[in-house]
Amino acid sequence: MKILIIQTAFLGDVVLTIPLIQAARKYLKARISVVCIPSTANILEGHPDIDEIIVYDKKGKNKGFLNLLKLARFLKSKKFDTALIPHPSFKSGFLAFLSGIKKRIGFDNSAGRFFFTDTVFFNKSKHQIERYLDLLLYFDVVVREERTRIYVDNESGKYAKILLGTDSNFFGINPGSVWATKRWLPERYAQLSDSIIERLGGKIVIFGGKEDKITADIVEKNMKGKALNLAGKTTLKQLAALIKQCRVFITNDSGPMHIAAAFDVPTIAIFGPTIKEQGFYPYSREAMVIEKDIPCRPCGKHGPKKCPKNSFVCMGDIGVEEVLNAVIRMNA
């Protein structure tokens, strides 16, 4: 069987799709191809359960309907038997339809469900990893558990070891997020970092992509102590290798949070506009979520660009000492 998995969302969604990829290989003995965007391809590279990565730059050089048709023709030539579409977008469903794939399976709440041949119930009470695995119910496959495996290549592993050495006292700080309201105040990340240095003798690594560099720089500039600021300086594989070496990882609701959870790195996730019940919390026994019970939460699936009430109390009410105490407990 030749299966195409279409996941053109952000990093976190791609990391959460990896268990589905693994399970499809394991239980269906299928050849797996994955369509993803350029910024997420690196995290999938080298995974033994993926036979082919097809990069779709939907907001760049492949933008527009004509390029969508071009990609569809290419996918049609591959003669896939089945498309699994965890991404709920209209375009993902449309792409599978245009590609002439006979079996197109997605969720019953997807915007592109009209293009599917079969739908699976989207269970809101489950974690997103478990929901994605539910797509295999179409094949009468029930997956009890499938841990996310991220493969770090030798070069990225060496990079992390050279940069951090054998020191096991690095604490990771991830102050960025695609969505502005998901970011805990950078000044508080700076205060937290200084407290970790002073009270735990820890060393701080600031993580983030190129888009997070401004936020990361604010954290670094507001610190009294020193930090290793790697925002925008690593590949995803290098990021994963570095996170794997952290003693504790403190993060907003974001893609790197899911990478840390995959490695069972002790993780503290700070949630503002989003809530655990939406199913995107860190999927690990070594993780905890810090959040405030405020009536207006959640204010969206991802969190809007700005607080609808202009108060931002969901993040503002989370204090440095509260997060520090969680770090101390995780570090015990």
Per-residue confidence in pLDDT tens, the chain, 332 aa: 999 999 999 999 999 999 999 999 999 999 999 999 999 999 999 999 999 999 999 999 999 999 999 999 999 999 999 999 999 999 999 999 999 999 999 999 999 999 999 999 999 999 999 999 999 999 999 998 999 999 999 999 999 999 998 878 999 999 999 889 999 999 999 999 999 999 999 999 999 999 999 999 999 999 999 999 999 999 999 999 999 999 999 999 999 999 999 999 999 999 999 999 999 999 999 999 999 999 999 988 888 888 888 889 999 999 999 999 999 999 87
Question: Considering the domain boundaries, does residue 150 fall inside one?
Answer: no
**Cα distances (angstroms) measured from residue 222 to each of 73, 131, 164, 193, 226:** 52, 40, 23, 10, 10
Are 97 and 201 in the same domain?
no
Tell me, yes or no, whether 179 lies in a domain.
yes
The pLDDT of residue 84 is 98
Does one domain contain both 117 and 7? yes
Q: 175 and 230 in one domain?
A: yes
Question: Is the distance from CB of 96 to CB of 78 less than 8 angstroms?
Answer: no
Closest CA to 16 of 138, 139, 143, 130: 130
Q: Rounded CA gap, 130 and 328, in Å?
A: 31
The answer to whether residues 114 and 37 belong to one domain is yes
| Structural domain boundaries enclosing 100 | 2-139
**Do both 119 and 208 map to the same domain?**
no
Residue 127 contacts by C-beta under 8 Å, 6 or more apart in sequence? Answer: 279, 280, 281, 283
pTM, full prediction: 0.95
Nearest of 176, 183, 85 to residue 135 by alpha carbon:
85
Confidence (pLDDT) at 332 = 74
Report yes or no on 325 lying in a domain. Answer: yes
In this prediction, residue 146 carries a pLDDT of 95
Same domain? 86 vs 214: no
For residues 327 and 194, membership in a common domain is answered with yes
Q: Is residue 250 assigned to a domain?
A: yes
Q: Do the domain assignments include residue 32?
A: yes
Same domain, 262 and 132: no
Residue 121: CATH number of its domain: 3.40.50.2000
Structural domain ending residue among the three candidates 139, 169, 203: 139
End-to-end CA distance of the chain: 48
Contact 126, 134 (CB under 8 A): yes
324 to each of 214, 245, 268, 317, how far by Cα in Å? 24, 20, 10, 14
Closest listed residue to residue 97, CA positions, set 71, 133, 62, 122: 71
Residues 130 and 229 occupy one common structural domain: no
* CA 115-117-119 angle, 5° bins: 95
Number of structural domains, the chain? 2
CB of 281 within 8 A of CB of 128? no
Which of residues 115, 139, 163 is at a domain's end?
A: 139
Residue 146 lies in a domain: no
Residue 304 has a pLDDT of 85
**One domain, residues 159 and 302:** yes
